[in-house]
Amino acid sequence: MILETGIMIENAITYVKQIFAADSSGHDYHHTIRVYRLAVEIAKQENADMQIVQLAALLHDVDDAKLSSETYASKRKAVDFMKGNGVDNEIIETVCKIIEEVSFAGNDSVVPSTIEGKCVQDADRLDAIGAIGIARAFAYGGSKGRKIYEPEIKPLINVSKKEYQQNQNSTSINHFYEKLLLLKDMMNTDAAKKKAWHRQFIMESYLEEFMAEWEGER
């Protein structure tokens, strides 16, 4: 049975709330909802297909390799949810394609093939930067047992997807240089680019203050 879009989206919100109820890595329910709201805001300006954007934004992390490695390749959780809610197979394929393309992957990062994918990727990247992005970086680093900062450990830049994913000996501060500070210039839409400028300033100001305090200059 095909459900009305509104009911389907409410079901998706309930679904991700259950999945991420215990998450403390920064990929929690509230992250998903922020991405969802940002993606919808961007999609309105880009005249994108709203249903596809909504589904992809809400389901973008349910099979993430960092959180659910056993379902990452098949996108099983996302697919099962959509099939259970009567989503057309063509839409399921489109949403799964967006989910596949959304993540940062070092030099192997891709520009999504659809405007809907660009909206979701921009929304996810916006939530990785700025004040909330700073908080999420340390939450994720702590969940992986990473040090806050170690001057002797240098950030790895200009690396492949494999090198980026296998870089376990990093720090939370390095993560800014390895990923977060790069995202501003990787935004696809004008709306996201405008938001990214301010969030970039927040991160750069924070890092300047962090280093000053670290060196005892404050």
User: Mean pLDDT, 10 residues at a time, over the chain (218 residues)?
Assistant: 75 95 92 98 97 97 77 82 95 95 90 97 98 97 95 90 80 97 98 98 98 91
| CA dist list (Å): 35 to 39, 162, 199 | 6, 25, 15
For residue 37, the domain's CATH number is 1.10.3210.50
- Range(s) of the domain holding residue 184: 5-214
Query: How many domains does the chain divide into?
Result: 1
pLDDT (0 to 100) of residue 36: 98
